[in-house]
Amino acid sequence: MKIAILSVSKKGYDLSLKIKKLLGDDSTIIRCDIYHKDVKNNFNLIFNEYDSIIAIMASGILIRSISDLIVSKTTDPAVLNIDDNGNFVISMLSGHLGGANRLTNKIAELIDATPVITTSTDVNKKLGIDVLARDLYLSIDDTHEILHFNKSILEGKEVAFTVNSNGNYDYLFNYLNENTLEMDVSIYFSSRINDGEIEVVCDNHKIMLIPRRVVFGIGCRRGKSKDEINEAVNKVLTDLNMDKSRITMFSSAEIKKDEKGILDLSEEFNIPVNFVELDKLALFKSDDIQESEFVRSKFGIAGVCEPSALITAGYDSELIYKKTAFDGVTVSVALSNKKILKN
């Protein structure tokens, strides 16, 4: 997640610095930038460039400043509003698909503030279909149906999930077991559903959920064992609250194509690994990757785990977990912005 923090007052700016520092060790925060004053121009500059915007200012200033920029819940960034004293963190825009509600709870906990969330499914302790899609990194084929689905869920109507019996949907089953709350859920199996797709029907309305490609980029010191790499991968899965079955592919640089630990882990998980050619890595450019001077001097590339993950995830993919070191193993995670049906 790329976050911009925009403040107006001196107290707000000081709070910006505090939040940025508190987020510094969070591997799911890819970048956090601070902007101060010049509110209207700064909003025009950052609104479409960040996943989330934290506005430390009066709500009236915020609303007037972004009113002309708002387009759609599927594209607008998450917007949070915090008062100068840091008493309240309010989820203002894109609570579900944009992740504002989740970020609101995170920031409120970090600064010891009260989170304020007003979306109906959340306040009624129901699981919104768009929350499920975001949590499981799924695309919704028709976002216009979200409102009807969530309204029907609030009314207690049955939600039926249909999947292909040949697919691995452990991530979905585990999630539903843990998060359905008071939802009336049924699960069916059918060969008419493409492997990887999830059909959801509620009150005679239907949507298709399609997985986005989740790629774990891996770098490691020579000779790291499968168990050592597995331990690092499991820590990342825990941080992302992600089921192992949700991983589409592993990736690394071609210089690691004979690394036994990576190959053994790929075989044990039954997840393919893509070793990216050095010339592709050398040509790859992104402002979001962390360059390694050692790797640059030795192999002529900026890094291993982040660029290989982004390249493997495909054009216009994004990092959702920045390069993090675990005792000689580095892991990052990239998410495709394209719909896929199969690994």
| Domain CATH code at residue 252 | 3.30.420.180
74 and 24 belong to one structural domain: yes
Is the same domain home to 16 and 110? yes
Helix, strand, coil abundance in the chain, percent, nearest 5: 35, 25, 35
* DSSP state for residue 97 in the 8-state scheme: T
- What pLDDT was estimated at residue 73? 84
Residues 168, 143: Cα–Cα separation, whole Å: 25
Coil, strand, or helix at residue 187?
strand
On whether residue 124 sits in a domain, the answer given is no
Confidence (pLDDT) at 245: 92
Q: Which of 58, 92, 118 is the last residue of a domain?
A: 118
Same domain for 142 and 73, yes or no, is no
- Shared domain for 199 and 216, answered yes or no, is no
232 and 171 in a common domain: no
What local confidence, expressed as pLDDT, does residue 233 receive? 97
Domain C-terminal end among 89, 118, 147? 118
The DSSP result for 262-323, as a single string, is HHHHHHHHT--EEEE-HHHHHH---TTS---HHHHHHHSSS-SHHHHHHHHH-TT-EEEEEE
Instruction: Return the pLDDT at 182.
Output: 66
Do residues 58 and 79 both lie within one domain? yes
pLDDT score recorded for residue 181:
64
Let me know whether 148 and 223 are in one domain: no
Helix (H) or strand (E) holding 183: none
**What is the domain range of residue 164?**
136-203
Cα–Cα dist 311/251, whole Å: 9
Q: What is the pLDDT of residues 284-336, one digit of tens each?
A: 988 888 887 778 777 788 889 999 999 999 988 999 999 999 999 999 999 99
Same domain? For 159 and 223 the reply is no
Last residue of a domain, one of 54, 87, 118: 118
Residues 255, 150 within the same domain: no
pLDDT at 341 (0 to 100): 39
Domain shared by 198 and 229, yes or no: no
**First-last CA distance in the chain:** 24
**What letter represents residue 238's amino acid?**
T
Domain co-membership, 198 together with 219: no
- Report the CATH number at residue 33: 3.40.50.11220
Whether residue 331 lies inside any domain: the answer is yes
- Looking at the structure of the chain, the number of domains it has is 3
pLDDT at 343: 37
Say if 252 falls within a structural domain: yes
Residue 290 resides in a domain = yes
Stretches in the chain below the pLDDT threshold 70: 180-182, 338-343
Q: Can you tell me which residue has the tokens 């403040």?
A: 7
Together in a domain, 46 and 112: yes
Q: Is residue 20 part of a domain?
A: yes
